[in-house]
Amino acid sequence: MDRLKDKVALVTGASSGIGKSIATRFAQEGAHVAVNYRPGSAKDHDAALAEVASFNATATAVEADVSKREDVERMIAQVVEKFGRLDICVNNAGIEIKRPFLEVSDDEWNKVVAVNLYGCFVVSQAAARAMVKRGGGGKLIFISSVHEDIPFPEYTAYCASKGGVRMMMRNLAMELAPYRVNCNNIAPGAIATPINQSVLEDPQAKQNAISEIPWGRFGTPEEVASVAVFLASDESEYVTGSTYYVDGGLTQQVTAY
Ligand code: BGC
């Protein structure tokens, strides 16, 4: 239970869903955890504070919009000031908007790309700068999606952003290797979290989703968090530039017809 003993970790978008599970697991593994949540939502604010209070570890909640550079730089500075350094940064914050391609507006496109792609850029740049400045390496983990690789009709902005994250991570793996900063993606499939709430609440849509999954069920956020622990730990020392699928086989497209 102490695979991350005394490491300092930041998890973005950690007040719910996959981010919350990762932050919780990291705390259980002995890390000091900064739980990021977005501004403007009392629900997320309260959830982040309750989460931090529930950890049996040093932890802090940090408000920041990952799509705003000034917020992000303040957040990284706050974490470094509180814990003295940053070892692990999980780029988890993400949003999706379902809209047929012919109807997508500029606003919708820009919003999704700003959080999912620019957010990953600016957060990992600020985090990597702190890691490189201190020396001693670090871990950048990106929660992308199976849609970093496979298409998802009516989610073009989302897929484009996640495909971008895939390539960004691979570039960073090369550029940051000399500094011993490991860069990897976790690509979740259909996980039972708030992002999928409408599907989970619609029996037909849920059944359609499950029929695409060889494992025959949605995944749990904890199943994503286990892989994040490995990628955040010293055991992944020689792992960089990879995507780990946590999707019950979804990407294998084995549906018979
Ligand atoms: C999306 C979900 C979707 C899943 C599998 C995820 O990245 O956020 O909406 O169910 O991929 O298609």
Q: Report if residue 1 sits inside a domain.
A: no
- Which protein residue's CA is at the shortest distance from atom 8 of ligand 1? 195
Closest among 5, 7, 57 to 27, alpha carbons compared:
57
Residue 4 neighbours by CB distance under 10 Å = 26
Q: Report if residue 3 sits inside a domain.
A: no
- Which protein residue's CA is at the shortest distance from atom 7 of ligand 1? 145
- What pLDDT, in 10s, does the model give residues 76-104? 999 999 999 999 999 999 999 999 999 99
Closest among 235, 100, 233 to 157, alpha carbons compared:
100
Per-residue pLDDT band at 256 (split at 50, 70, 90): low
Q: Report if residue 2 sits inside a domain.
A: no
Cα–Cα distance, 196 to 135 (Å, whole number): 39
Q: Report if residue 106 sits inside a domain.
A: yes
Q: Report if residue 219 sits inside a domain.
A: yes
Tell me the pLDDT of the chain averaged across its residues.
97
Q: Is residue 190 in contact with ligand 1, taking CB distance under 6 Å?
A: yes
- Which protein residue's CA is at the shortest distance from atom 4 of ligand 1? 190
Q: Report if residue 196 sits inside a domain.
A: yes
Q: Is residue 223 in contact with ligand 1, taking CB distance under 6 Å?
A: no
Alpha-carbon separation of residue 158 from 65, 78, 163, 187 (angstroms):
18, 30, 9, 13
Cα–Cα distance, 111 to 97 (Å, whole number): 9
Q: Could you tell me the strand order of the sheet in which 181-188 lies? A: 59-63, 32-37, 8-11, 88-91, 138-143, 181-188, 243-246
Is 238 a known active-site residue? no
What separation in Å is there between the alpha carbon of 189 and the centre of ligand 1? Answer: 6
Q: Report if residue 53 sits inside a domain.
A: yes
Q: Is residue 147 in contact with ligand 1, taking CB distance under 6 Å?
A: yes
CATH number at residue 150: 3.40.50.720
- What pLDDT, in 10s, does the model give residues 218-246? 999 999 999 999 999 999 999 999 999 99
Are 231 and 186 in contact by the 8 Å Cβ rule? The answer is: yes
pTM as predicted: 0.97
Average pLDDT of the segment spanning 193-215: 94
Q: Report if residue 168 sits inside a domain.
A: yes
Per-residue pLDDT band at 37 (split at 50, 70, 90): very high
Cα–Cα distance, 146 to 246 (Å, whole number): 8
Q: Is residue 224 in contact with ligand 1, taking CB distance under 6 Å?
A: no
Q: Which domain holds residue 32?
A: 8-255
Average pLDDT of the segment spanning 97-124: 98
Number of domains in the chain: 1
Catalytic entry in 37, 155, 158, 245: 158
Q: Is residue 96 in contact with ligand 1, taking CB distance under 6 Å?
A: yes
- Which protein residue's CA is at the shortest distance from atom 9 of ligand 1? 196
Structure tokens at 207: 């059944």
